[in-house]
Structure 1
Amino acid sequence: MHNVNTLALVAESLGVQPSALENALSYKTKLVKKELCTVFLDSDGASDNRNDLAKTLYSLLFAWLNEHINQRLCRDDFNTFIGLFDLPSPQNMTGRSNSLDQFCINFANERLHHFVQQRLFELHVNEYQSEGISKHVPPPSPISYFDNSECI
């Protein structure tokens, strides 16, 4: 462990002993032929464990925050409910439940999709008007598309 002060601070925040956190990050236990084997991890393996712990903590915080907001907003009325609807996409075909990572990927994809649609269907018309081309060329007929800006 490179930074014992950080380890102690994180352990205190999580309510565990620093040695328990260090063991959780530095070792991996596997079941091999009905026997538990504990393996000391190299720095890459320990980094992976640290990253997995951070992702899990962020996911738990994300779920808690969503639940906490809804408990405050929806005491007597479900009209103020906040819901996050996250559909599995090609990046997540494993059958496991969606995670914060997947939600962030989907959110980024929706933002990108909105940006591309806006460029394709709206901004060129404004550009024609600002350059005075629309006076000489009939305006293109509007293209109907689903605008997801209210969702994002």
Structure 2
Amino acid sequence: MDMKTLRVEALRRVIGPLSQKEFAEQHDLDASYLSQILNGHRGLGEKAALNLEQKIGLAPGVLVNPAGYGSNVIEGEFGRVEIIREQSPVYQAMIGNASPKSIAILDKLARAAAKGKLKESDLALLEGIAGLLEKANSEKS
């Protein structure tokens, strides 16, 4: 199997059970670009693989050199870079109660924050939304 095919297979394993559309939305990717790569209409060269690794938040080399990772990608040993999970005990405690969709949203926010893409006004808005959700959920209990 050539390197580009190995990269596409590694990308498929990273996408896992998500649909192409869901995965693209979670990672701010163009769904048609992702589809072209997965369907073989566009090659996944080294530069494109490196860009995808960075955009998705993968450990270096997972897509650029998937042969070096082998089954580890399949087993999930080298998956998305953990941004908040390692840093926040509150986040870790929440994982057991949170839905997969809410975890994906939090991961997306964490990636945006780590890349410096959130402005102070964005953070104030998110804090306000969190407060409203907390209040609404405490009233239901």
TM-score category (smaller protein): under 0.3
Answer with 1 or 2: which has the greater Rg.
1
Specify which structure has the higher proportion of strand: 1
TM-score (norm 2): 0.25
Structure number with higher relative contact order (C-alpha < 8 Å, ≥ 6 residues apart): 2
